[in-house]
Amino acid sequence: MTKEIYENPDLKKERQNCPFNKEEITNFLDGGKEKTTERRQLETYILSDEQLKDAVPMEYLSHADKYAEELRKSCLLMHKLADSPAGQVQTLRALMGAGLGSAILKEGNPIALHYVMFIPALMGQGTVEQQAKWLEKAYNLNIIGTYAQTELGHGTFLRGLETKATYDPVTKEFVLESPSLTAYKWWPGSLGKTANYAVVMAQLYTKGKCEGIHPFMVQLRDEETHEPLPGILVGEIGPKLGMNTNDNGYLGFDKVRIPREQLLMKHSQVLEDGTYVKPTNSKLSYGTMVFVRVVVCQDVTVNLRKAVTIATRYSCVRRQSELKPGDREPQVMDYQAQQHKLLPPLAATFGFQLAADHLWNLYNTANNSMEQGDMELLPDLHGLSCALKALCSSEAANFVETCRQSCGGHGYMSCSNFPRIYGQVTAAITYEGENTVLWLQVARYLVKTRKEKSGGLSVKYLIDEEKGPRTVDTTPEGIVKLYRRVAVGLVDIAIAELENNSRKGYAPHDAWNHAAVHLIKAAQAHARLFVVESFVDSLKGSRLSAPVRAILSQLCELFIIYWILDRSGDFFLCANLKKEDLLQLNSKYVQLLAAIRPQAVNIVDSFDLRDEILGSPLGCWDGNVYQRLFDEAAKSPLNQKNVHESFHKYLKPLLKSNL
């Protein structure tokens, strides 16, 4: 006899008569049918391993036990690499990020930094000889590394880092020093307890001159005993809002000597006599950060997909209040207000992914040409990676919080998985360049391009300005033009503010600081334009069936109108938008909410996120929400006995004390 599989009747109904092929969307998001098959095989391979399952939910473990447990599973995963059906690099990519990896390593992977930053730093900053020396060991996990840049006193302002690496031509060594408390490295992931090596960013001094920050390969711990080496002061920084098993750490140097060859010398060198050889571009040593900014855009998008899937399924299971007097309580998803909360983030997942795909392609093209010595694409890559990292992380964090709120009280439970998802996404606002600082970097590029009439592909619109009548057309192509006008208009307003400040007598740096609000708005408009353009163009250029194209086009339209309604002031100011246009967009928006609503569950199903990856009783495929919430509560240590021992110790004496 086959066992009947439970499916909540409301979800079952949502799934009936789906007008499009869900699998086609899944393949579109995965990058092809073969990639979907490969991903599924990999997921089955990893998730069927009993040893990778948690005995108790992580929340009930101590800080140290959580770390030990995640490290155990992380090491086990590495042992599974060799037999993976998906190939090693694909498997690593899946295990490090918010997808498959998060089903096993819920609070952060203690060896993530090794793959996300240490190996990329060796590849991007090391010479061929240096790569030959360390890369294989790193690939084989004979050594585990991290990327140690941020200090207690400085994270953003890299020129202000204090760690010193002074070249001694007599011994042909660098001497590493932390000259103050604020010079201690503080924050690097995996540094606390896991890593035994690090790429350390330090101010390079040679022949009495500081040449700026450079990457050094440094051994931190003994390869056998794991004890810190002499002069290395290392530890963990303690609990955080999220990502608690990434063992972020601190690190100080007390005159630690390393051979000259441990300066990573792909871009700049120190010769034996101490002569410094400059790089072709002084920002090449920042390359590892650029790589991570690019992959973070993909990662926060996967996290957002998880949040939207949980909230959408739950909203179709949850029935609350009264819509039509006397009728059965409706699914909360039927409230327009709920659709307004959930459908824009649902649409955003597609817009962000398509933009992130463009950025990934630019990264690869730019990297290939930089390998040949051509730096032309670097400014555009820097500008776009900062813009998208800042936009995707901040929008995703807001959307994840909205998803949580949309689930009412149950969204506040740890087991809903919203706290963890939020903890990870909001961290991306800060790490790899705090977003405000990145917006200002973008603004610098935009202002320069507009003034000098020269810049890369992503800012061409600031040079070749649109001609013709400035009418308002509300087709998707017409809407892209409105975004373009807003981006140009806000850059011009920021430039006018800068010039105004100069006329007032401000020095250039003060003029810049006093224009920051306008500069940031301009940078954000530029980033939004890129996402909107990517969304519209990608759908135009893709080979999709008519039903899939229809639903994705509706999502695209909803999304690009949503942002206009959210920032209509900018569109009135810069894009000639009139009251009647706004009212028309408003009614189109609510029509789209109603049109997409019946397919919401089918769309999130097409993300093909397994229950283990969602990690939430609210979002499971079967919609058995209430039973699963009860099952989770049963795991609480407070429910293992009817009367907890603390009752006898504290409460009973109080109850008997006749206060």
Ligand X SMILES: Cc1cc2nc3c(=O)[nH]c(=O)nc-3n(C[C@H](O)[C@H](O)[C@H](O)COP(=O)(O)OP(=O)(O)OC[C@H]3O[C@@H](n4cnc5c(N)ncnc54)[C@H](O)[C@@H]3O)c2cc1C
Ligand Y SMILES: CCCCCCCCCCCCCCCCCCCCCCCCCCC/C=C/C(=O)SCCNC(=O)CCNC(=O)[C@H](O)C(C)(C)COP(=O)(O)OP(=O)(O)OC[C@H]1O[C@@H](n2cnc3c(N)ncnc32)[C@H](O)[C@@H]1OP(=O)(O)O
CB of 156 to ligand X, least distance (A): 3
Place of tokens 């090794």: 114
Q: Among 108-116, 399-407, 527-535, 650-658, which window interacts with ligand Y (CB under 6 A)?
A: 108-116
Q: Would you give the binding string for ligand Y spanning residues 463-502, x where CB under 6 A is met?
A: ----------------------------------------
Near ligand Y in 279-298, by CB under 6 A: 283, 286, 289-290, 295-296
Q: Would you give the binding string for ligand X spanning residues 29-68, x where CB under 6 A is met?
A: ----------------------------------------
Task: Report what 299 binds from ligand X, ligand Y, none; CB cut-off 5-8 Å by kind.
Answer: ligand Y
**Binds ligand X (CB under 6 A): choice among 132, 437, 633, 651:** 437
Q: Is 187 one of the binding residues for ligand X (CB under 6 A)? A: yes
**Binds ligand X (CB under 6 A): choice among 188, 344, 455, 615:** 188
* Burial of residue 267, with CB atoms counted within 10 A of its CB: 0-12 exposed, 13-18 middle, 19 or more buried: buried
Cβ proximity to ligand X: between 111 and 609 the closer is 111
Residue among 521, 532, 452 at smallest CA distance from 489: 521
C-alpha 401/C-alpha 334 separation (Å) is 20
* Burial of residue 197, with CB atoms counted within 10 A of its CB: 0-12 exposed, 13-18 middle, 19 or more buried: buried
Q: Is 147 one of the binding residues for ligand X (CB under 6 A)? A: yes
Q: Which residues contact 189 (CB under 8 A, 6 or more apart)?
A: 108, 112, 113, 117, 146, 243, 246, 247, 248
Contact 114, 75 (CB under 8 A): no
Task: Report what 441 binds from ligand X, ligand Y, none; CB cut-off 5-8 Å by kind.
Answer: ligand Y
CA angle 507, 511, 512 (to 5 degrees): 120
Q: Is 142 one of the binding residues for ligand Y (CB under 6 A)? A: no
Count of Cβ atoms closer than 10 Å to residue 232 Cβ: 19
Q: Is 115 one of the binding residues for ligand X (CB under 6 A)? A: no
CB of 55 to ligand Y, least distance (A): 25
Q: Which residues contact 13 (CB under 8 A, 6 or more apart)?
A: none
Q: Is 243 one of the binding residues for ligand X (CB under 6 A)? A: yes
Sign of the CA dihedral with 191 first, then 196, 198, and 200 last: positive
State the distance between the two ends of the chain, measured CA to CA, in whole angstroms.
64
**Residue 432: active-site member:** yes
Report the interhelical angle of 33-47 vs 88-96 (nearest 10°): 70
Near ligand Y in 580-639, by CB under 6 A: none
Task: Report what 92 binds from ligand Y, ligand X, none; CB cut-off 5-8 Å by kind.
Answer: ligand Y
Q: Is 524 one of the binding residues for ligand X (CB under 6 A)? A: no
DSSP string, 424-439: HHHHHHHTTS-HHHHH
Dihedrals φ, ψ of 206, to 5°?
Answer: -145, 145
Cβ proximity to ligand X: between 146 and 315 the closer is 146
CB of 425 to ligand Y, least distance (A): 10
C-alpha 289/C-alpha 590 separation (Å) is 41
Contact 91, 42 (CB under 8 A): yes
The verdict on whether residue 287 carries a ligand-binding annotation is no
Q: Is 291 one of the binding residues for ligand X (CB under 6 A)? A: no
Q: Is 110 one of the binding residues for ligand X (CB under 6 A)? A: no
The verdict on whether residue 189 carries a ligand-binding annotation is yes
The residue count of the chain comes to 659
Q: Which residues contact 214 (CB under 8 A, 6 or more apart)?
A: 165, 201, 202, 203, 204, 263, 264, 268, 285
Q: Would you give the binding string for ligand Y spanning residues 399-438, x where CB under 6 A is met?
A: --------------------------------xxx---x-
C-alpha 641/C-alpha 644 separation (Å) is 6
Contact 287, 294 (CB under 8 A): no
Q: Among 204-212, 231-239, 351-359, 427-435, which window interacts with ligand X (CB under 6 A)?
A: 427-435
- Give the helix/strand (H/E) hosting 148: strand 145-148
Q: Is 442 one of the binding residues for ligand Y (CB under 6 A)? A: no
Q: Which of the residues 173, 432, 533, 557 is marked catalytic?
A: 432
**Binds ligand X (CB under 6 A): choice among 136, 376, 434, 477:** 434
Q: Which residues contact 235 (CB under 8 A, 6 or more apart)?
A: 192, 249, 250
Count of Cβ atoms closer than 10 Å to residue 412 Cβ: 12
Total residues contacting ligand Y (rule CB under 6 A)?
Answer: 37
C-alpha 173, offset from chain centre: 38
Q: Would you give the binding string for ligand Y spanning residues 45-84, x where CB under 6 A is met?
A: ----------------------------------------
Cβ proximity to ligand Y: between 200 and 332 the closer is 200
Residue among 637, 639, 620 at smallest CA distance from 628: 620
Task: Report what 436 binds from ligand X, ligand Y, none; CB cut-off 5-8 Å by kind.
Answer: ligand X
Q: Would you give the binding string for ligand X spanning residues 439-478, x where CB under 6 A is met?
A: -x--------------------------------------
C-alpha 36/C-alpha 401 separation (Å) is 29
CB of 116 to ligand Y, least distance (A): 5
Residue positions in the annotated binding site for FAD? 150, 189
Q: Which residues are catalytic?
A: 432
Site residues for ligand Y per CB under 6 A: 88-89, 92-93, 96-97, 112, 115-116, 119, 139, 147, 149-150, 155-159, 189, 283, 286, 289-290, 295-296, 299, 378, 382, 431-433, 437, 441, 444-445, 448
- List residues binding ligand X (CB under 6 A): 113, 147-150, 154-156, 187-189, 243, 248, 427, 430-434, 436-437, 440
